[in-house]
Structure 1
Amino acid sequence: MNVSKLLTCPVLALALAGAMGAPAASAADAAQPFTQPAEAASHATRASVLGAANAGSRVVTVGEHGIVLLSDDDGKSYRQADKVPLRATLNAVHFADPQQGWAVGHWGAILHTADGGRTWQTQRLDTKIDQPLFSVYFRDTMHGVAVGLWSLMLRTEDGGKTWTQVELPHPAAQKGADANLYAVFAGGPGALLVAAERGRILRSVDDGATWTYVETGYQGSFWAGTYLKSGALLVGGLKGTIYRSDDAGASWKPAASPAKSSVTAFREQDGKVFATALDGVLLTSADDGKSFVATQRADRLPLTAAAVASSGVLLQYSKAGVVAAGSRH
């Protein structure tokens, strides 16, 4: 793995900090500070946000130091969650319904909430090695998949009470499955996809029981993916690259995009598709993800996550925390 390339991205720099760190013998000691409960922080809304999701009308974000933020007024204000058992960096969050949600992050951590993000409990933690999980998706409150560093994929069929590691196939001409898996997302009924390194996408048509690789022809990493209301699929990543599929992920073609800033998240709202990106870039598509136009913040603040408020407002998040709604600085 080319760590220098990964660390050029603020999102992955945070997610990978320490992942290549101490020898196994001292891993438990290295993990100890992160296994303490997250603390209330006066600067919570300025801490890096790496993931955001909707829990009904509530918006929930996760990020560095185990900080979880909740907003019940369409992003106008935020408060910290009452209880988070870890202060490790959390990379992603997903809700199966307004109450049941999961967050994943460093040390292979998986946290669960049953009250819309107000309090969290640890379902999984591996202090033997810091192998971060980058993304999580639940089809319903029982069936979920989490993915991360070095082809780590975990699957649950009981709401996260138990997690089983999935043995992935080897890509063609490779001895093992060692690519980083950055984003798992729905691909239609019974289908799941994972955006990965080396232009590869993992695809399952049986709810994650078995997987195959799809080669897009691109050689860089994909960091984000989404299933659009039309049934089209999008993945995006390095240097503003976006690929689109109209056949449930069996084949992919590049989407037209003018930006060279790496894509970090997709959201769809009111017939438009939005993609947040580094360097303060927001990409917008009015033709179902076939082509995008770009706008850029003057301060080039790296945008790392997004959510859509119940009012329809696009909420953006960054390496410097919450971005004020409508902010164009």
Structure 2
Amino acid sequence: MKKYIAVTALLGGLLAFVGVPFAARAQINPAVMPASGPLSKQTMARLLLTDAARIGNRVVAVGDRGYIVYSDNNGTSWQRAKTPLNTPLLTAIYFLDDKTGWAVGHDSTILTTTDRGESWSKVFSAADDQKPLMDVTFVDANRGFAVGAYGAFYGTSDGGKTWNARKMFEAAKTVQSSAAPKKGKYESVGSSKAAEGDAGDKGGDEDKHINAIIALAEGATAKPDGSKLFVAGEAGMLAKSDDGGTTWTKIASPYKGSFFGAIQAKDGAVLIYGLRGRIYRST
């Protein structure tokens, strides 16, 4: 089992290098927002954006009111992409290759693009479920996963044409007792303050918000083959799958607070980050 150690870091400037304004001083008036095409610096300064992805020299970002924007010069200038009308808040974006991408958000909305983010179409939504999606990933051209609030977990096996709701922690498929990962030792770096959890911590994992999902590679030089997946979420929820998302194993967490994201480093280590600026690295 991988252990996790705390890492001290500043998160505020992670995306500053591309000039993406990830906090808005005031919401923009939709009436003055062009449907597509170039955006002024004043408009960009007021957009509320939540996530971004880089493909080559292009950066594509998503955000409030379903806005999607892209830049080919590291944020010097931006253009608005073509998106479906009445698209809600988008929370995450992922590109499978240099042309094909996916964005997810509220109302369980899933959008896709095949032209490097310049135009998008809706392939799925489930507003009645009231489960905002928080992250999306694809392991190959056919298989993909989207996760979100209240245990939302969707999968596709046909390249995103259809999406099916799944249960991540069904009783019959949850690893119990001796088969569960053993509790690891954790070392806090750069902080002597005890870890604090979320207020109103939930007891079970079934309805916890799943905030991040990534596909894992076996080693530093390997590419993910889709068999190993990792999720992080609310109230310290961590889990992994070794069979492409069919069954999941809960992982003992180094922190009771919520995690908002996860990435795998080039050396194979997994980094998870979350509440109160905490970052943990597997060892």
TM-score over 0.5 for the pair? yes
Runs of 5+ unmatched residues, structure 1: 1-13, 15-37, 247-329
Residues 220-299 of structure 1 aligned to structure 2 (within 5 Å) = 220-246=257-283
| 1:63 and 2:63 correspond | yes
Distance 1:90 1:139, change over 3 A: same
Alignment correspondent of 2:144: 144
| 1:181 and 2:188 correspond | no
Q: Which has the higher contact order (CA 8 A, sep 6+)?
A: 2
Larger Rg: 2
Alignment correspondent of 1:122: 122
Report the alpha carbon displacement of residue 159 of structure 1 after superposing the two structures with TM: 1.1
Give the residue type in structure 2 aligned to 1:186: A
Report the alpha carbon displacement of residue 45 of structure 1 after superposing the two structures with TM: 4.8
Give the 3-state SS of the residue equivalent to 1:198 in structure 2: helix
How far apart, CA to CA, are the structure 2 residues paired with 1:71 and 1:174?
Answer: 43
Higher strand share: 1
Q: 1:201 aligns with which of 223, 226, 238?
A: 238
Residues 200-219 of structure 1 aligned to structure 2 (within 5 Å) = 200-219=237-256
Give the residue type in structure 2 aligned to 1:244: R
Q: Per-residue CA shift, 1:64-108, capped at 9, x if unaligned?
A: 011101111122211100334443100000000011000000100
Distance 1:39 1:106, change over 3 A: farther
Report the alpha carbon displacement of residue 184 of structure 1 after superposing the two structures with TM: 0.9
Give the 3-state SS of the residue equivalent to 2:276 in structure 1: helix
Give the 3-state SS of the residue equivalent to 1:116 in structure 2: coil
Runs of 5+ unmatched residues, structure 2: 1-22, 24-33, 177-201, 218-223
Give the 3-state SS of the residue equivalent to 1:216 in structure 2: coil
Note if contact 2:151-2:205 (Cα within 8 Å) is conserved in structure 1.
no
Give the residue type in structure 2 aligned to 1:114: T
How far apart, CA to CA, are the structure 2 residues paired with 1:179 and 1:39?
Answer: 36
Distance 1:53 1:176, change over 3 A: closer
Report the alpha carbon displacement of residue 127 of structure 1 after superposing the two structures with TM: 2.5
Give the residue type in structure 2 aligned to 1:108: S
Report the alpha carbon displacement of residue 176 of structure 1 after superposing the two structures with TM: 6.2
Note if contact 1:44-1:67 (Cα within 8 Å) is conserved in structure 2.
no
How far apart, CA to CA, are the structure 2 residues paired with 1:116 and 1:85?
Answer: 20
**Superposition CA RMSD, Å:** 2.5
Give the residue type in structure 1 aligned to 2:228: A
How far apart, CA to CA, are the structure 1 residues paired with 2:120 and 2:86?
Answer: 9
The TM-score, its normalising length taken from structure 1, stands at 0.60
Q: Per-residue CA shift, 1:127-152, capped at 9, x if unaligned?
A: 32431000011122221110001000
Residues 291-310 of structure 1 aligned to structure 2 (within 5 Å) = none
Report the alpha carbon displacement of residue 44 of structure 1 after superposing the two structures with TM: 4.2
How far apart, CA to CA, are the structure 1 residues paired with 2:70 and 2:84?
Answer: 12
Give the 3-state SS of the residue equivalent to 2:150 in structure 1: helix
Q: Per-residue CA shift, 1:213-261, capped at 9, x if unaligned?
A: 1121411100011001100001010112112113xxxxxxxxxxxxxxx
The size of the alignment, in residue pairs, is 212
How far apart, CA to CA, are the structure 2 residues paired with 1:78 and 1:146?
Answer: 27
Alignment correspondent of 1:192: 229
Alignment correspondent of 1:78: 78
The TM-score, its normalising length taken from structure 2, stands at 0.69
How far apart, CA to CA, are the structure 2 residues paired with 1:101 and 1:202?
Answer: 25
